[in-house]
C-alpha cells in the first residue's frame, strides 16, 4: 500500500513537472526573433497585443530608448531576454548618411579606421550588457550614401551568434560574446554592376540551419553561395553563381527529406540542396538590383525584385525542379503558380500575413494580393510619395508596421481592405527592419534602439 502511494505520488509529481515545462514552453512562444525579420524572414510574431500608437518625443508607450554607437542598418535580433545588434563605428564624428528618393550612385569617401562591433542589450531595460569588436580597420570596400558598413543582420540559434561584416569577415560568437571563429572571404564588392567603381556595401545576412551557416555572396566578381560548419567555421561547400551583385538573404525550406536554400537574383534566382550545394531549380528574369529576401507561405515561395525595366513578383511552387523560367507573355507555368510583372518590390521583402501578401515599393506604394491566386485586393500609397521606404514590414496582432526612411511608422490593419490605423514619428532616420518579441516592437533608428509597448 505504501509502495502504491509512493508510485502515485511520483506520477503526480512527474505530471506536475511536465505541466510546468509545458507552461514554460508556452510562455516562450514567439519570444525569439533569431535572424533578419525573425524565423525564416517571415516577419510575424503573434500571441501578444502590440501597440498601435506611440510618441517618442512625448515618451508615450516608449518602454526604453538606448543610444547605439556608430552607424548600422542591420536589424536587431532577439533570443530570450537579450537583444543583439551590430554596428560600424567610423573615425568620422558624424558619418555621412543621405536618405530619400534619389539616383546618386556615388560611394561615401571615408578612409578612417572603423570598428565593427556586436552589442548585447537587456531586452527589458535596454541596458548595454557588452560590446565586442570583431575587427578594427579601414573598410576594404566603400558604402553607398544611403548604406552603412553594418548592413547584414546577425543570426543566432541560442548557442551561437553569427555576424557578417562583408569584406571584413564572417564571425561566430557564443552567447557571452566570446569569439569562437572567423572566416575571411576576401573583398566582397557589392555595387552597381554597370558602374563597378560605384561601391555600395554588402548587405546579405547569414542564416543558421541546424549545424550550418549559409551565406550568399553575390558581388562584382566570383559570386557564390556557401555553407560553413557552425562549430568551427570550416567550409562545407561552395557553389559558384553567375550573378551580378545582390543584397537579399537566403531562406531555408525543408520537406520530405530534402532541405533547400532559396535565393533571389537576376540571372540566377534559384534553390540549392543544403547538403551539397547542388542547384535544384533556377529562374532568370526580373529586376537587375535584387534586394528582397525570399519568403515562404501557402506551399509557395515568393520572390520579388526590381530595377532595370522590370519589377516582378513570383509565386513559385515548392516542388520546382530544373529551369522554371517563364516564356514570353506568360505569367504562370507548371512550377510558377502566378506572377505580376510590374508590382514587385525594390528594397522591401514582401510580407505574408494570413491569406494575404503585401508588397511595398521604395516610394511607399503598397500592393495587397491574395497569396494563393495573385488577385490584387488593393493598391494604396503610404506617405506623400516623396519619402523612401527601405525597411521591410513586420506584423503582429492584426497589424502591419511599415517604416519610412524618415522615421514615420505606418500601422496598417491586416486584411483585403486598406485601413491606416496610425502614423507614428520616431524623430530619427529609420533604415532597419523592426523586431517584435512578447508584444514589444524594437525599432532601430539612426542613433538609437527603441522599445515600444503599451
Q: How far is CA 119 from CA 34, 176, 189, 306, in A?
A: 15, 10, 25, 33
Q: Which helix (DSSP H) or strand (DSSP E) does residue 337 occupy?
A: strand 336-340
Task: List, in order, residues 6 or more apart from 58 with CB less than 8 Å away.
Answer: none
Joined together, the cell numbers standing for residue 441 give 516592437
Are the C-beta atoms of 225 and 212 separated by less than 8 Å?
no
pLDDT tens, position by position, 398-420: 999 999 999 999 999 999 999 99
pLDDT tens, position by position, 63-102: 999 999 999 999 999 999 999 999 999 999 999 999 999 9
Q: How far is CA 33 from CA 184, 384, 389, 441, in A?
A: 27, 32, 22, 11
Instruction: Give 80: exposed, middle or buried? Use CB within 10 Å, 0-12, 13-18, 19+.
Output: exposed
Task: List, in order, residues 6 or more apart from 183 with CB less than 8 Å away.
Answer: 169, 170, 228, 233, 235
Are the C-beta atoms of 409 and 395 separated by less than 8 Å?
no
Q: Give pLDDT, residue 28.
A: 56
Q: Give pLDDT, residue 25.
A: 33
pLDDT tens, position by position, 132-161: 999 999 999 999 999 999 999 999 999 999
**Does residue 100 fall inside a structural domain?**
yes
Question: From the centroid of its chain, how far is CA 412?
Answer: 20
Q: How far is CA 22 from CA 28, 31, 80, 195, 280, in A?
A: 10, 15, 16, 56, 39
Q: Which CATH number do you get for residue 427?
A: 2.130.10.10
Closest among 260, 250, 252 to 320, alpha carbons compared: 260
Q: Number of structural domains, the chain?
A: 1
Residues of the chain where predicted confidence (pLDDT) is lower than 70: 1-29
Q: Give pLDDT, residue 309.
A: 86
Q: How far is CA 102 from CA 145, 308, 329, 363, in A?
A: 10, 15, 32, 11
Are the C-beta atoms of 432 and 391 separated by less than 8 Å?
yes
Q: Which helix (DSSP H) or strand (DSSP E) does residue 409 occupy?
A: strand 408-413
**Does residue 15 fall inside a structural domain?**
no
Closest among 30, 36, 28, 31 to 434, alpha carbons compared: 36
Are the C-beta atoms of 157 and 174 separated by less than 8 Å?
no
Q: Which domain holds residue 317?
A: 31-452
**Does residue 6 fall inside a structural domain?**
no
In whole angstroms, give the CA distance from residue 238 to residue 214: 10
**Does residue 52 fall inside a structural domain?**
yes
**Does residue 416 fall inside a structural domain?**
yes
**Does residue 401 fall inside a structural domain?**
yes
Q: Give pLDDT, residue 343.
A: 82
Q: Give pLDDT, residue 238.
A: 98
Q: Give pLDDT, residue 29.
A: 67
**Does residue 1 fall inside a structural domain?**
no
> What pTM was computed for the model?
0.93
**Does residue 8 fall inside a structural domain?**
no
Amino acid at each position: 500500500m505504501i509502495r502504491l502511494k509512493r508510485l502515485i505520488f511520483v506520477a503526480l509529481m512527474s505530471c506536475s513537472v511536465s505541466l510546468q515545462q509545458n507552461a514554460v514552453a508556452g510562455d516562450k512562444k514567439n519570444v525569439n526573433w533569431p535572424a533578419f525579420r525573425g524565423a525564416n524572414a517571415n516577419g510575424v510574431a503573434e500571441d501578444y497585443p502590440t501597440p498601435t500608437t506611440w510618441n517618442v518625443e512625448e515618451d508615450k508607450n516608449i518602454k526604453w530608448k538606448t543610444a547605439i554607437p556608430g552607424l548600422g542598418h542591420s536589424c536587431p535580433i532577439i533570443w530570450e531576454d537579450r537583444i543583439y545588434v551590430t554596428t560600424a563605428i567610423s573615425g568620422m564624428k558624424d558619418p555621412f548618411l543621405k536618405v530619400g528618393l534619389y539616383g546618386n550612385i556615388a560611394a561615401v569617401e571615408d578612409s578612417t579606421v572603423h570598428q565593427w562591433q556586436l552589442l548585447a542589450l537587456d531586452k527589458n531595460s535596454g541596458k548595454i550588457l557588452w560590446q565586442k569588436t570583431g575587427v578594427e580597420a579601414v573598410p576594404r570596400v566603400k558604402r553607398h550614401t544611403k548604406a552603412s558598413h553594418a548592413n547584414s543582420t546577425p543570426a543566432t540559434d541560442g548557442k551561437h551568434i553569427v555576424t557578417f561584416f562583408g569584406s571584413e569577415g564572417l564571425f561566430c560568437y557564443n552567447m557571452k560574446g566570446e569569439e569562437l571563429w572567423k572566416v575571411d572571404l576576401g573583398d566582397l564588392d557589392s555595387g552597381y554592376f554597370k558602374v563597378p567603381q560605384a561601391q555600395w556595401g554588402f548587405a546579405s545576412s547569414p542564416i543558421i540551419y541546424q549545424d550550418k551557416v549559409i551565406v550568399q555572396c553575390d558581388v562584382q566578381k566570383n559570386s557564390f553561395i556557401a555553407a560553413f560548419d557552425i562549430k568551427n567555421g570550416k567550409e562545407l561547400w561552395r557553389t559558384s553563381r553567375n550573378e551580378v551583385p545582390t543584397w537579399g538573404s537566403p531562406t531555408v525550406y525543408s520537406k520530405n527529406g530534402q532541405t533547400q536554400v532559396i535565393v533571389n537574383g537576376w540571372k540566377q534566382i534559384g534553390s540549392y540542396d543544403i547538403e551539397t550545394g547542388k542547384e535544384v531549380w533556377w529562374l532568370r528574369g526580373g529586376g537587375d538590383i535584387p534586394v528582397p529576401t525570399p519568403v515562404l507561405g501557402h506551399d509557395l515561395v515568393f520572390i520579388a525584385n526590381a530595377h532595370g525595366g522590370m519589377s516582378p513578383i513570383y509565386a513559385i511552387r515548392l516542388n520546382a525542379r530544373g529551369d522554371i523560367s517563364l516564356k514570353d507573355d506568360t505569367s504562370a507555368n507548371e512550377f510558377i503558380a502566378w506572377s505580376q510583372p510590374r508590382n514587385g518590390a525594390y528594397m522591401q521583402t514582401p510580407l505574408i500575413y494570413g491569406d494575404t501578401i503585401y508588397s511595398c515599393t521604395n516610394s511607399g506604394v503598397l500592393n495587397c494580393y491574395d497569396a494563393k491566386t495573385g488577385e490584387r485586393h488593393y493598391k494604396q500609397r503610404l506617405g506623400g510619395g516623396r519619402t523612401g521606404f527601405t525597411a521591410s514590414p513586420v506584423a503582429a496582432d492584426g497589424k502591419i508596421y511599415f517604416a519610412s526612411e524618415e522615421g514615420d511608422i505606418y500601422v496598417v490593419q491586416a486584411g483585403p481592405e486598406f485601413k491606416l490605423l496610425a502614423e507614428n514619428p520616431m524623430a530619427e532616420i529609420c533604415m532597419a527592419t523592426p523586431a517584435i518579441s512578447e508584444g514589444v516592437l524594437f525599432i532601430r533608428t539612426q542613433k538609437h534602439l527603441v522599445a515600444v509597448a503599451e
